[in-house]
Amino acid sequence: MIDVDVTNQSNPIISVVLPAFNAEKYLCEAIDSILVQTLNDFELIIINDGSTDGTLAILEEYKKNDRRVKLISRENRGLVVSLNEGISLARGKWIARMDADDISHPERFAKQVALLEAEDADICGCHWFVINETGKLIEAKLVPLSRDTFIIYIACTVPFAHGSVMMRSSFINQHGLRYGGVKFAEDYDLWVRFFEKGAVFSNVNEFLFSYRETESSLSKQLSKQNAKDSNRLRKIFVRKNRVACIQALRESMKRYSSLSQAERVYVLLASYVASINLKSAILITVARKSSSRSIGTALLYWWRGI
């Protein structure tokens, strides 16, 4: 079943792309968090990727009750295909990602659009909470807020929670950007390509998203494969962007006292990646300024695969 009626409708500000596969357990909470956004000029494009549980029945009910819901239901083709399909169908100026087991806080869209417009940026995330299956807080994650720290994060890991991202449609289409450059770490790969195309990165300095960590999460199921792809991506990134990476680390060291604990840890991690891939001595400089706490946390992150 494919049911997307977009005739005689003006384009919304935002197109939300939400893939769903056997997602019945948390699906209602995820969709409800979108439908109650304070900025409500959006279309919610949901790709039912061949679910075999009660997902389709739930989605059909939402489609019946809210005209903003656009439902595509078909055989299973995988996450990357579903994401690209949603992007191709999007009509909004901005494309917002959302996953079927996460929660967007009510002002997420309004605050992201405001920042994107104010900074003329192409992609935006926010700080985020990690919650468990019952919604209990596990930890809070801080994202980079300046160009230097964006470069430092990308040299190590992703600078956003994937489901929290909002992207400029015209930038995506102008540069032919789609998921699928690698098999597993598809979001990390896409953000690297955004950077290399000259995207302006931004993040709202607020907690506007909750990521649900479950035993069935793809990130857990594919952790080894993700780690392998991520390791290759960070090596390629620092080698291709040597000057930018070293400059970002040097600038961060100049304002080291003002960095958050999280930023200090990622400066250490990025300096390690740069040192082993660029034969640079920057790690020695950073380590000399770092506390035992920062070094210990960085080692833990590295052991976990960052």
CATH, residue 44: 3.90.550.10
Plot region of 305 (φ>0 → left; ψ -120 to 50 → alpha; else → beta):
left
Task: Note the pLDDT of residue 216.
Answer: 67
- Considering 101, 125, 152, which residue would you say is the last residue of a domain? 101
Task: Note the pLDDT of residue 219.
Answer: 56
Lowest mean pLDDT among 1-15, 18-32, 190-204: 1-15
Contacts of 40 (CB under 8 A, 6+ apart): 68
**Rounded mean pLDDT, 79-83:** 97
pLDDT, one tens digit per residue, over 93-109 is 999 999 999 999 999 99
Task: Note the pLDDT of residue 94.
Answer: 98
86 within domain boundaries: yes
9 within domain boundaries: yes
Q: 220 falls in which pLDDT band (50, 70, 90)?
A: low
pLDDT at 218 over 70: no
pLDDT at 9 over 60: no
Q: 222 falls in which pLDDT band (50, 70, 90)?
A: low
Domain count across the chain: 2
Contacts of 234 (CB under 8 A, 6+ apart): 154, 155, 156, 157, 273
- How much of the chain exceeds pLDDT 70, in percent? 95
- Considering 72, 101, 130, which residue would you say is the last residue of a domain? 101
The residue whose two tokens read 């449609």 is 169
108 within domain boundaries: no
* Angle formed by the axes of helices 261-278 and 242-254, nearest 10°: 140
Percent helix, strand, coil in the chain (nearest 5)?
50, 20, 35
Parent domain of 9 = 1-101
Q: What is the mean pLDDT of the chain?
A: 93
pLDDT at 1 over 50: no
Distance CA 245, CA 152 (A): 7
CB 111 within 8 A of CB 204: yes
260 within domain boundaries: yes
- Considering 57, 81, 101, which residue would you say is the last residue of a domain? 101
**Residue 228, number of CB atoms within 10 A of its CB:** 16
90 within domain boundaries: yes
Contacts of 42 (CB under 8 A, 6+ apart): 12, 13, 14, 15, 16, 34, 68, 92, 96, 109
Task: Note the pLDDT of residue 6.
Answer: 41
Amino acid at 115: L
Task: Note the pLDDT of residue 5.
Answer: 44
62 within domain boundaries: yes
172 within domain boundaries: no
Q: 217 falls in which pLDDT band (50, 70, 90)?
A: low
Going by C-alpha positions, the residue among 116, 123, 105, 117 that lies closest to residue 162 is: 123
The residue whose two tokens read 């920057």 is 282
Task: Note the pLDDT of residue 212.
Answer: 97
Tokens representing 87 are 């992007």
pLDDT, one tens digit per residue, over 116-175 is 999 999 999 999 999 999 999 999 999 999 999 999 999 999 999 999 999 999 999 999
Helix (H, G, I), strand (E, B) or coil at 62: helix
**Residue 253, number of CB atoms within 10 A of its CB:** 16
Burial of 292 (0-12, 13-18, 19+ CB in 10 A): exposed
Tokens representing 203 are 């993040």
161 within domain boundaries: no
pLDDT at 34 over 90: yes
Distance CA 48, CA 35 (A): 18
